[in-house]
Amino acid sequence: MNVILPNGDIQELAMGPLTVVELLQHLGISLGEVLVSKNKCIIPEDSILENGDNVRIMQVIFGG
């Protein structure tokens, strides 16, 4: 799967199927700080990711 990280770097990962939570754990990213999209749609943390998916991890920004 192609994974776009919050800093814009792209990683090609040959792993799956796995959940969003498992992917974030593998990458060392906290679930509470990001949103994840698969094939351009925001998905919940229990969604299954497969090889061939295009995944983007986006940093959530808080403030006011």
Q: Report the pLDDT averaged over residues 31-36.
A: 92
The whole-chain average pLDDT of the chain stands at 92
pLDDT at 41 over 80: yes
Identify the residue whose tokens are 């919940």. Answer: 44
| pLDDT the model gives residue 19 | 96
Mean pLDDT, to the nearest integer, of 40-58? 95
**Residues whose CB falls within 8 Å of the CB of residue 56, separated by 6 or more in sequence, listed in order:** 3, 4, 36, 37, 40
> In which band, very low, low, confident or very high, does the pLDDT at 16 lie, cut at 50, 70 and 90?
confident
Distance between CA atoms of residues 10 and 1, nearest Å:
10
Q: How confident is the model at residue 64 (pLDDT cuts 50, 70, 90)?
A: low
